[in-house]
Structure 1
Amino acid sequence: MSERSGHLLIVDDDPDIRTAGQLLLKRHLAKITTTGDPCQLPQLLAEHDFDAILLDMNFSPGESDGAQGFYWLKKILSQDPQAVVIMITAHSGVNIAVEAMKLGATDFIAKPWQNEKVVATLSAALKLRASQKQTQTLRQANQLLSDTNRTSALLGASPAMQQVMGLVARAAPTDANVLILGENGTGKELVARQLHAQSLRKDQVFMAIDLGAVAETLFESELFGHRKGAFTGAQEDRLGKLLAANGGTLFLDEVGNLPLHLQAKLLTVLEQRRVTPLGANQSQPFDVRVIAATNLPPAQLRDETRFRQDLLFRLNTVELQLPPLRERGQDIALIARHYARVYAQKYHQAPREFSPQALAAITHYRWPGNVRALRHAIERAVILSQTPEFEVADFPLDMPPEQTYAGASASRELPEDLNLVRQEQRIIQTALKKHGYNISHAAKELGLTRAALYRRMEKHGL
């Protein structure tokens, strides 16, 4: 049990039990509240967020059938369905306590109790409550993201996008694992969220983890979790992503960047559907739907020296290939107008249209950063443009001469331009193109970590 964490409520009509509980547990809990009158429970539950409740089974002299304990247990769970309730019973009432657990109690303690048993039982209860709170927080965050992402709908009328939407609609209601392929910025996470939102797990957690940004040494801790003291720096128990997403969807982004030896560990866990946190002795079952994504080209993904084929077969029950924006030019105007409205509302501005020249410019641009880059360009234009409608000058697209468009100025940055921000953007673009948008290889050539490269790509809208 972590030092002095959590709020405990002890409900027992015996003052000696309440005092003994306080003396035993005060070193382990931040706060302990006691009451000898269970009628105070509704008010106490309304005023406090208890991490665990110790509840006696009998409150009247001569009572031993546990009826009062059952009654108040039901009252507690009707007010807080996630409440962690530990029943207190005499040794002769163990069968009654087991019945209480069938009604929703978490555990029981027989009195006269053993101190070690009480501490161990309460420790497990506090861990359960912490897990519940983390899951609830994730659900709320996912709902917030879902509300926010309504402005980031999967847009496109092109045949390529209509095909993607059709596959999403057919695959979403199933529990099949899905592998999403596509360049950076094509909307892989957005598709993953659409799959979750249209699935039978839509009311459960959507957990996303960017494997390209997770250090190899932290992979098992992040995904599987760890126990306090499992390694240097493990100051407390940590719930891994697999268990945190239990019942919901786990999105493994940039799975193609995972080294082969870690791919083997991921495969084992997915096959067994059980995970053992670092420092733990027992494995735990989990139930998640796995959606994975990578920017690796299919040829590299099917290269056994780059990616385990048995893991690939585990992940790609359904495979979705997202087209780059340059292959769906007819969708650019639709996407641009959508985000122009979104950002106008966000920054409290009147909606604006695009001049014909500006619309031609963004339509003919190849958008190496795909939809993400287009979105950032629109947001920048909304913030900085001072004209009644968006003009070509609001979009510094830096196109080479062969990508000029009718009616637009052909002026370009001079070769001797020494602006550091623009030079950094060009260098990053060059490295990404050279390595086929493989983040690991581009980062290595640039002398950066993957995480640092991701930050710079985000900065420049790539």
Structure 2
Amino acid sequence: MKKKILVVDDDRAHARMLDTLITDWGYEVFLAEDGDRGVDMVQSQAFDMVLMDMKMIRMSGMEALGLIHEYNPSLPVIMMTAFSSVDTAVKALKIGAYDYLTKPIDFDKLRLTIERVMERIFLKTENKTLKDRLKQERFHHDILGKSQAMATLLDTIQMVAPTDANVLVTGESGTGKELVSSALHENSPRKDHAFVRINCAAITETLLESELFGHEKGAFTGAERKRKGKFLQADKGSILLDEIGEMSLGMQAKLLRVIQEKEVAPVGSDQSTRVDVRVIASTNRDLKAMSLAGEFRQDLYFRLNVVSIDIPALRERTEDIPELALHFLEQFSQKNKKDVKGFSPDAMDAMIRYEWPGNVRELMNAVERGVVMARSDYILREDLSFIQPDPAESGSLESGLENYSLSEIEEKTILSTLAAAEGNKSETARRLGITRKTLLKKLKQYGKA
């Protein structure tokens, strides 16, 4: 496949000249008439590099560079500038430009620069930059991310951790609920005492009572010796009740008593023991809705939900993906004794665009597979496990669409994506890989604007 180069220049004659020249060198060229259009195109499709003018009417090259690198830090951008703007070009290098060329453009130098980019020399530099930044910005307890959503999450942890309040940690599977729970304990006055974890969904109701509260010798068949339960093990520390939404109503009543009375009675004993435990519960279910439906005790819900921390899904903080991916890359390269240096631009672009239904856990698994499968120094798009064959290339259609026209399929896709995004047009445009302007135009055609 031809490498794709985006030329961003509001001088149409100059842009067409570059188009002709670079196309003759064997590349596929796309044109954007100003910085804002260039940013939109980068967000809607994958490119191998960007060649961009510094001075443009609607959005300067410097501003566009910042937005492009905020979206995809791995994408190399070469700036074009007049001799009088060299100082500005140097500033562009400092904020992430790969290189700059002065006008009038030296064609030989341009071709050499493009070839260097396509040989992926840039990857070593870009990935080193990201790794260095990752080390500087890494949050405590390996909670990674520079997005506003993660900043808010960390602020909440820092405020709540020093207190004794019970905390309900919610979020989709794979978002890092156990990591957040651990951060709450380790930043609390209880950090020098035990942090005990138990998965409520992995143990039957009978055994769960014994696991949580302990049992006396002979309390039931197989109880050959006395056993201390998780609550006593966590005395003066914290306990994480993972997947609390799977606990039966009967066990919920027993748990509520322990939380209210701050004492436990082992199975088979009439004697209670005082315990001082901070309770952290986590779930991917809507406990409020379950309590209203009678599927979860409302009084227990209120006891657990003194403070609620909701972890955003990875698709809601795509700007964190490069840092997370590089963190896992370094981790799994060492584990598998492979010297994988980074990701190709189209691989990084694919990761940014993907929905990640399995969230950070799925990203971690995808990067580990990519490291194992990498046949070069860099993980390529085809090394990523979530990449599926393009239906347009395979000639197959999703079941049930064979009888619709192309325009009808387009309309159904756009409207269903809009519904899935709960009416958020910016999010819908991002998921579809089109600009918001294009989306609004389409919705107007369907009478849905």
Q: How does 1:397-436 map to 2 (within 5 A)?
A: 397-399=386-388
Pick from 229, 234, 238 the counterpart of residue 240 of structure 1: 229
Amino acid at match of 1:395: L
Write the distance in 1 (CA, Å) between the matches of 2:287 and 2:213: 28
Identity, % of aligned pairs?
46
AA in 2 matched with 1:260 = L
Matched, 1:231 2:226: no
Give 2:108's aligned residue: none
C-alpha distance in 2, partners of 1:196/1:361? 36
The whole-number CA distance in structure 2 between the counterparts of 1:391 and 1:412 is: 24
Unpaired runs of at least 5, structure 1: 1-148, 403-408, 417-435, 437-462
For 1:413 and 1:169, how far apart are their aligned partners in 2? Answer: 51
Moved over 4 A (4+): 149-152, 398-402, 409-416
What residue is the counterpart of 2:354 in the other structure? 365
Change (3 A) 1:261 1:289: same
Where do 1:17-416 residues align within 5 Å? 153-297=142-286, 299-399=288-388
State the alpha-carbon separation in 2 of the partners of residues 236 and 350 from structure 1. 51
Which runs of no fewer than 5 residues in structure 2 stay unpaired?
A: 1-137, 400-419, 421-449
For residues 263 and 388 of structure 1, do their structure 2 counterparts lie closer, same or farther at Cα, with a shift above 3 Å needed?
same
The 8 Å contact of residues 398 and 413 in structure 1, kept in 2 or not, is answered as no
Alignment partners' CA distance in 1, 2:175 and 2:148: 16
Q: Distance in 1 between matches of 2:345 and 2:306?
A: 44
**CA RMSD between the two structures:** 2.6
Q: C-alpha separation between the residues in 1 aligned to 2:393 and 2:210?
A: 53
CA distance in 2, matches of 1:350, 1:186: 28
Q: Map Cα deviations across residues 53-82 of structure 1 (whole Å, 9 max, x no partner).
A: xxxxxxxxxxxxxxxxxxxxxxxxxxxxxx
The question of whether the paired residues in 1 share the 8 Å contact of 2:245 and 2:287 is answered with: no
CA distance in 1, matches of 2:397, 2:239: 47
Kept in 1: contact 2:340–2:376 (CA 8 A): no
Given that 1:353 and 1:390 are in contact with CA atoms closer than 8 Å, whether structure 2 keeps it comes out as yes
Partner of 2:26: none
CA distance in 2, matches of 1:215, 1:316: 24
What amino acid is aligned across from residue 311 of structure 1 in structure 2? L
Residue number in structure 1 paired with 2:423:
none
Conserved? CA contact 2:287–2:296, under 8 Å: no
Q: Deviations over 1:111-142 (max 9, x none)?
A: xxxxxxxxxxxxxxxxxxxxxxxxxxxxxxxx
Distance 2:375 2:249 in 1: 52
Distance 1:401 1:167, change over 3 A: farther
Evaluate the alpha carbon distance shift between residue 292 and residue 207 of structure 1 in structure 2; reply closer, same or farther with a 3 A threshold. Answer: same
Q: Which amino acid counterpart does residue 246 of structure 1 have in structure 2?
A: D
Aligned to 1:212, the other structure's residue is in SS state coil
Distance 2:182 2:141 in 1: 11
Provide the secondary structure at the position in 2 that maps to 1:213. coil
**What SS does the corresponding residue of 1:251 show, helix, strand or coil?**
strand
Question: Structure 2 vs 1, CA of residues 412 and 216 (structure 1 numbering), >3 Å: closer, same or farther?
Answer: farther
Q: Distance in 2 between matches of 1:372 and 1:169?
A: 24
Cα deviation 1:354-391 (Å, max 9, x = unaligned)? 10100011111111111011111111111221212110
**Cα 1:414/1:385, change in 2 over 3 Å:** farther
Alpha-carbon shift at residue 242 of structure 1 (Å): 0.3
In structure 1, distance between residues paired with 2:367 and 2:170: 25
Task: Please state how far the C-alpha of 1:399 moved relative to its aligned partner.
Answer: 4.9
The two structures have a TM-score, normalised by structure 2, of: 0.55
